[in-house]
């Protein structure tokens, strides 16, 4: 199995995640899409690490995973706060910044 197979797989997962982020109405759904995209990034990092023999990729993906966990915790907390205030988690209606 060559590097290309892993990178292609990762690109596919990334595109699927991007699609989810762009189309989901629910804020939690958007967060799920982001998780997918970050996951694709991790696949890339680990694959490069494996194929170049550099340990840095592994350490980086380790950091990515940890940061993702923090991001998810915070993101969901924000979603809950928004839900309390606006009584909705639909991203369409969260347009206070509209010009």
Partner 1 sequence: MRILVWLPLLVLGLPFASFLLLAVVPPLRRTGRGAGVISILAIAGAFLGALGVWTQGFRTESRWEWIPADGGPMATVGILVDPLSAAMLALITLVSLLVQVYSLDYLHDEPARGLGRYYAYHSLFAFSMLGLVLSPTFLQMFIFWELVGLCSYLLIGYWYDRPAAARAAVKAFWVTKLGDVGFVVGIVMLWGTTGTFDFTTLFAMARENQIPAEGLTLTLFLIYLGAVGKSAQFPLHVWLPDAMEGPTPVSALIHAATMVTAGVFLVTRAQPLFLLAPDVMGIIAAVGAFTALLAASMACVETDIKRVLAYSTVSQLGYMMTAAGLAAAAAGFFHLLTHGVFKALLFLGAGAVIHAVGTNDMFRMGGLGRAMPQTAIVFIVGTLALAGVPPLAGFFSKEAILAGVWQHGATTLFVILALTAFLTAFYMFRAVFLVFFGRAHAAGHPHDAPWLMRGPLWILAILTVAIGLRYAIGGHGDDAHPAPGWLAPFSVVLALSGIALAWAMYQRGAIEPAALSRALRPIDFMARRRYGLDALYGGLYQAFILGFSGLIGWIDRYFVDGILNVLSAWTLRGGDGLRRIQTGRAQDYLYGVAFGVLLVVVWFHWWAQ
Partner 2 sequence: MIVETVGFAVVAVVLLASSLAVVLTKNLFHAVLYLAAALVSTAGIFLLLASPFLFAVQLLLYAGGVVTIVVFAIMLTERLVGERIAQTSRDIVNGAIVAAAVLVAVIGFLVQAPAMTPPATAVAEQTVAIGKALVGPFAVPLELLGLLLVAALLGAVYFARAED
Strand partners, 56: none
Specify whether the CB–CB gap between 50 and 17 falls below 8 A: no
Query: Where do contacts with partner 2 occur on this chain (CB under 8 A)?
Result: 1-9, 11-20, 22-26, 28-29, 31-33, 35-36, 39, 42-43, 46-47, 49-53, 55-56, 58-59, 61-63, 65-74, 76-81, 83-84, 87, 89, 92
- Kindly state whether residue 85 participates in binding partner 1, applying the rule CB under 8 A: no
How far apart are alpha carbons 77 and 89 in whole angstroms?
12
64 interacts with, out of partner 2, partner 1, none, CB within 5 to 8 A per kind: none
Specify whether the CB–CB gap between 21 and 34 falls below 8 A: yes
């Amino acid at each position: 199995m060559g590097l290309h197979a892993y990178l292609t797989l990762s690109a596919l997962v990334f595109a699927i995640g991007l699609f989810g982020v762009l189309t989901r109405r629910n804020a939690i759904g958007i967060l799920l899409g982001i998780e997918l995209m970050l996951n694709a990034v991790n696949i890339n990092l680990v694959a490069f690490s494996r194929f170049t023999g550099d340990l840095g990729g592994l350490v980086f993906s380790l950091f990515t995973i940890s940061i993702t966990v923090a991001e998810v915790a915070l993101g969901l907390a924000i979603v809950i706060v928004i839900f309390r205030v606006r009584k909705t988690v639909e991203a369409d209606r969260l347009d206070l910044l509209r010009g």
